[in-house]
Amino acid sequence: MSQNKKKFFGKHKNEQELEQTQTLPPISENNSDKTVQTEENTAPEEASEKADADEKNEKAEQFTESFRKRFNQSKCVRVIIAAGLIILLVGGSVFAVIRSRNTGTEDTIPTTAVVTYGDIGTYIEGSGETAARNTEELGLGIEGKISQVLVSEGDEVHAGDPLVVVDPTGIREQLTAAQAEFTAAQSELTNAQAAITQAQSRIASAQSQYTHGSATAPFSGKFIASSTFTAGQKVSAGQTIGRMVNDSQMQLAVQFSSEYAKDIKAGQTATISTSVGQVSAVVSSIDSASGKGTFLVVLTVQNPSGALAQGTSATATINSDSAGTIFSSGSGTLDYIKEQVITAPIGGEITAYNGSNHTYSSGAVIMSISNVAAPDTSDARSSLTAAQSTAAAAQAKVSEIQTRILKLQQEILDATMTASIDGVVTSLNAEEGEETDGTEPLVVVSDLNDTVVTAELTTDEVQSVEPGQTVTMNMYTMDGSELPLTGVVDSVSPEPSQNTGSQGSLTTFKTIITVDSIEGQAISSGMMVDYKIAVAESDSCLIVPTSAIVHTADGSTGVFTKTLIDKDGNEIPFDDTLPIPDGMEAPEGYQLVAVETGVSDANNTEIFWGIDEGATVYLNATPNTSNAVTDEENTAYNS
Q: Domain containing 257 — which CATH number?
A: 2.40.30
Where are the strands (E) in 269-354, listed by range?
269-274, 277-287, 294-302, 313-320, 324-327, 332-336, 339-343, 348-353
On whether residue 155 sits in a domain, the answer given is yes
* Domains of the chain: total: 2
Identify which has the larger pLDDT, 53 or 261.
261
Assign 617 a pLDDT band (cuts: 50, 70, 90).
Answer: very high
Identify which has the larger pLDDT, 218 or 83.
218
Residue type for 329, please?
A: S
Distance CA 609, CA 592 (A): 14
* Residue 593: predicted pLDDT: 94
* pTM tops 0.75: no
Range of 38-42, 78-82, 149-153 with top mean pLDDT: 149-153
Residue 55 has pLDDT above 80, yes or no: no
Q: Concatenated DSSP letters for 545-606? A: EGGGEEE-TTS-EEEEEEPEE-TTS-EE--S-B-PPPTTB-PPTTEEEEE-EEEEE-SSEEE
On whether residue 256 sits in a domain, the answer given is yes
| Dihedral class, residue 589 (left if φ above 0, else alpha if ψ from -120 to 50, else beta) | left
The residue segments making up the domain with residue 260 are 249-336
On whether residue 299 sits in a domain, the answer given is yes
On whether residue 467 sits in a domain, the answer given is no
Residue 82 has pLDDT above 90, yes or no: no
* Residue 375: predicted pLDDT: 64
Residue partners of 542: CB distance under 8 A and separation at least 6: 115, 116, 117, 606, 607, 608, 611, 612, 613
Mean pLDDT of the chain: 78
Assign 70 a pLDDT band (cuts: 50, 70, 90).
Answer: very low
Least confident of 76-85, 301-310, 346-355, 594-603: 76-85
On whether residue 434 sits in a domain, the answer given is yes
Residue 376 has pLDDT above 80, yes or no: no
Assign 10 a pLDDT band (cuts: 50, 70, 90).
Answer: very low
Among residues 302, 336, 370, the one where a domain terminates is: 336
On whether residue 302 sits in a domain, the answer given is yes
What's the mean pLDDT in 268-277?
Answer: 92
Among residues 444, 463, 488, the one where a domain terminates is: 444
Find, among 139, 165, 125, 146, the residue nearest to 8 by Cα.
125
On whether residue 193 sits in a domain, the answer given is no
Least confident of 3-12, 307-316, 594-603, 617-626: 3-12
CATH number, domain with residue 158:
2.40.50.100
Assign 377 a pLDDT band (cuts: 50, 70, 90).
Answer: confident
Residue 179 has pLDDT above 80, yes or no: yes
% of the chain residues with pLDDT over 90: 40
What's the mean pLDDT in 467-492?
Answer: 91
Identify which has the larger pLDDT, 292 or 57.
292
* Residue 389: predicted pLDDT: 92
Among residues 315, 336, 357, the one where a domain terminates is: 336
What's the mean pLDDT in 219-226?
Answer: 91
Crossing angle for the helix pair 631-638 and 53-73, nearest 10 degrees?
140
The tens digit of pLDDT for each residue in 420-450 reads: 888 888 889 999 889 888 889 999 998 888 8
On whether residue 512 sits in a domain, the answer given is no
* Residue 109: predicted pLDDT: 66
Residue 40 has pLDDT above 50, yes or no: no
Least confident of 69-78, 105-114, 292-301, 307-316: 69-78
* Residue 381: predicted pLDDT: 87
